[in-house]
Amino acid sequence: MRIEESIKAYGAKINELLQELIPPDRKDYLSEPIWHHMRTGGKRVRPALCLITCEALGGNPSDAIPFALAVEAMHNMFLLHDDIEDGDTIRRDQPTVWVKYGTANAINAGDYLLACAYKITLASPVSLEKKIQLLQVLTSTYEKTVEGQALDINARAAEDFSVDKYMKMVELKTGYYLACGMVGGAIVSGISEQVIEKIWTLGKTMGPAFQIRDDLIDLTHGKGRGGVIGSDVKEGKASFLYSHALQVACAEDKKRLREIMLKSRDETTDNDIQWVLDVYKKYNAMQYAQEYAENLVKQAYTTIDEIPVEDKTVFKEIAFFMTQRMS
């Protein structure tokens, strides 16, 4: 499929240019941890979508390259900080940066990636007006994603976590983030404000749809950690299923559910995980999540229909890719 090839080609280009932005062999206690992390993989989907969108809207994708790199740098900054915040020790079969280099170096390496994101955006070969717009996109995405992360890490302890709160959290944490590359590509292309607004809206439905699917995968196929089912439960992650169950369960189930979610990773037993899975089934959480995500995907396609450009192919391909294939 065309879009996958484009992502692959642009992704390879981005990988090359990232090495110019952050030379891997510098002895500064920053490039080593950053490249330990960068080499664990990642398909560079976000920057590729930036370039693809720019091109599809008639812009010159090479003008969007700095912003595409910025998006990827910011993405990895969040991964470095999130791994510390979530206590994740392994990412794609490698020790996470905080495990290998210590928390101090991991915080710092993340901070540095963000500096790189701003530095490279400031070097974009575009007009001052567009540059300011790109910096605004980068900043609001950064701000909203941090706000979402704050809700996320505190959700597991919150008694009144609900589907609405989950949606607010993932809209903040994944919505802006997913749209920002596309929005940046659109800005560089010089397209109208109306188109840009619709791309933001698209992110706010596609992001949560993608996240709910991701939550479901954890309970059906497991998340690439040797296919172990229920990592989110073990981690106490505030998933869609948890938000739904917490909202509809009887007092007794709700109490035990919260107790299990609040347990540390090591304390959570296999029996606990099985009990949570059974409770999710009892309250039809999986089915509800599936329907909820499908509805969001439908909304995404409606938004695409409303984008005021003639050829909507690229947006349909991106939506299909993000909501069907990436999982």
Q: Torsion angle, CA of 212/214/220/222, rounded to 10 degrees?
A: -150
Which C-beta is closer to a copy of itself: that of 79 or that of 296? 79
Q: Judged by CB under 8 A, does residue 112 bind a copy of itself?
A: yes
**Among the residue ranges 103-111, 181-189, 201-209, 279-287, the one whose residues contact a copy of itself (CB under 8 A):** 103-111
Both tokens of 167, joined, read 């949606």
H or E element that contains 90: strand 90-91
Using the rule CB under 8 A, which residue among 1, 9, 58, 111 binds a copy of itself? 111
Of the residues 52, 151, 261, 307, which one makes contact with a copy of itself according to CB under 8 A: 151
Q: Is 94 in the site for a copy of itself (CB under 8 A)?
A: no
Question: Of 53, 76, 96, 108, which one interacts with a copy of itself (CB under 8 A)?
Answer: 108
- The answer to whether residues 127 and 166 touch, using CB atoms and an 8 Å cutoff, is no
From the list 15, 60, 85, 299, which residue makes contact with a copy of itself (rule: CB under 8 A)? 85
Q: Whose structure tokens read 């490279």?
A: 120
In the complex, the smallest distance separating the C-beta of residue 184 from a copy of itself, rounded to whole angstroms, is 15
Candidates 15, 60, 140, 162; binder of a copy of itself (CB under 8 A) is 140
CB-based contacts of 68, cutoff 8 Å, min separation 6: 10, 14, 46, 47, 48, 50, 51, 181, 184, 185
Q: Is there binding between residue 320 and a copy of itself (CB under 8 A)?
A: no
Q: How far apart are CA 152 and CA 144, in angstroms?
A: 12
Phi, psi of 326 (to 5 degrees): -60, -35
Residue 81 found at the interface with a copy of itself (CB under 8 A): yes
List the one residue out of 12, 2, 14 whose CA is nearest residue 185.
14
State whether residue 214 is helix, strand or coil.
Answer: helix
Q: Where does this chain touch a copy of itself (CB under 8 A) — which range of 27-35, 63-71, 184-192, 271-279? A: 27-35
| Joined tokens for residue 57 | 């809207």
Sole window of 63-71, 149-157, 186-194, 302-310 interacting with a copy of itself (rule: CB under 8 A): 149-157
Write out the residues near a copy of itself by the rule CB under 8 A.
28-30, 81, 84-86, 103-105, 107-109, 111-112, 114-116, 118-119, 122, 128-129, 131-132, 135-136, 138-140, 142-143, 146-147, 149-151, 153-154
